[in-house]
Structure 1
Amino acid sequence: MIHLQQLSKIFRTKKDEITAVDNVDLSIREGEIFGIIGYSGAGKSTLIRLLNMLERPTIGEVIVAGKEMSTLRGKPLREARQNIGMVFQHFNLLWSRTVFENISFPLEIARVPKAERTKRVNELMELVGLSERANAYPSELSGGQKQRVGIARALANDPKVLLCDEATSALDPKTTDSILDLLVDINQKFGLTIVLITHEMYVIRKICHRVAVMEDGKIVEQGDVLDVFRQPKKQITKEFVKQMAEQEETLDTVVPLLKDHPSGPIVKLMFLGEGAEEPVITHLIRQCGVSVNILQGKISRTKDGSYGTLFVQLQGNTSHIEQALAFLRENNVEAEVLTDV
């Protein structure tokens, strides 16, 4: 659906050059929710604006729904942009227009007949849960309601791609969840490809299928969200995972808990997908004849499944412990013996 090839954007001033996007190659599949995460200044906002030519690339290609966007001008570009909706951080609503009129605005520009416009706007208001606020003005709406208007407006022309530029960063946690749930619903109902940028790993974890991590204009890591959460490779990715308090507890935090349990190896267990929700420890105790001292751990959920890390101490004779480790690995649980205490 979206292909970026050797894409760069350089901003030039009289005294300096700033490379906001640096030689990015990226493919986003049709129908997926793809997240781009990075700190302020990483280049993610510029990257998403390159997708609909709000910024034009210095070099490289931007192909959306089979069209090379940077070659388009005038009417062909306007027509191509109708396939790309955009939701903004600060809503960008027209304050002198009602909810109905804000959603109708892109249809007016596209010269859609009035009866058809009215039908479409009513459908969209129903979709985002604002049918009863049709005549309200933006000043009368909550932040979440304003963003719902923004989403409905972005969907007015029935786009194939929806771009979300920090769409939840101005919202409280509860409202953020409701907006993310709405985006998932839209994705599932219409098969819409959604690209969102954020600095919040929670957003990525909750709704994205895949993620790209940006730093200094470059994509430094990308992959399925489960894989990135489970085994972040770059330091910046590890920092994002840590900020979400989803980081794996370290051995240093576990060892002090062993004062009352002085014998047996410490084993780090890593679960992924359905295995994170199976009663593996119960089966382990019953079948292998070991005692399991659970020290620390956490299971978290992502869009496509669960992942978790558990630190345990296995207690029993050597043969039973070896049998237990083999059992874990046979059941798709990674088991790493960290130390004998």
Structure 2
Amino acid sequence: MRGKVLLDRAIDVSYSTAVAGPGDDPGCEPEAFWRGQVNGLCGAGFRGHLSLVTGLHTGYVHLTVELFDAEPPLAGDWEEAVEVSFRQRAKKLWVGGLMSRPYPVALPRGDYRVRYCARGMEEGRRLDTADEDEVVDAYALQFWPGEPAPDRIVRQTGETAAYWHRAHPRRARADRKPATRERRRGGSRRRAPLDRLDADLGSALAEAGDEVCTAVARWAAERAVAVAGLERWPGMAEALAAVRRGEPVAPAELMALLDDPDMVLTTVVLPAAGPDGPPTEMAQAYVALPAVLALADRPPLTAATNALRAAAGAHGEDGYREFFAGLRVAFPVLAGVVRRTGDTCTPPG
């Protein structure tokens, strides 16, 4: 069955997220996209909007948007696939990266079932960043007329998809549990990149070499676990012992630690993506754990960058500057340049 191609191009994603919607800010908490869902790749919990997860963290992925008259068969080369319901009421659907240019899609008004398909998510996650000449993961949004129905996971093969199928729906449930500070409405999914948080740290890491980067990644992972209070969790001691031995922790085993439905998750306000960026509040455990998962990333510079980014987020808007100051105390080789933290320029120390 052939559909009508509405969009077929590379799009620039950030924070492993693309979006589709009427073109305006939904003005909702991030967890609103995932409430009531079983899948964690295509969030459709906020009417008229879709939140789409990619394997690649930052850069270009390929996206195809198609319209069918009826449900199409699922091609065998798609490694991941989920389905949700979607109501289109705007004149156009705008599709693009979280913080990049959106593209108009001529989707007629109506009620649809949507299949979000993915290929190469594992490769994209390992690559972390990509330009337009090295696209490794591809995605498709397939629309066809359909009545509202629960979302479902159609095909799941990779660890990255398995992680998000656990994390996003659970995070939406955890959002109703006690938090360390008052929730803020109208937030954004944006999280500040490492160069925004500390403009000179990336260059200092690159000059320091692989051995220092490996040690930095382990240091950041341990502090992310500590600040999020995860040391108390059953199984985390074994995971940290493996980290100290330099052994990567399997994502499936690590994420299994979060499956206890009675676990109370606290939240943290993340550092803003820009000087005027709105606050974003997330479950602290889900911000911190990627620091441990980053230890398996290659090369060591990527592992250090990803671990520091996650650990800084786990320390939150009020604590990430002190976290970076502690980093330079622990690793004096990184303190040889002027440090710019957030919007404040301070000398090394």
TM-score (norm 2): 0.24
TM-score (norm: length of structure 1): 0.25
Indicate the structure with greater helix content: 1
Larger radius of gyration between Structure 1 and Structure 2: 1
- Greater strand share, structure number: 1
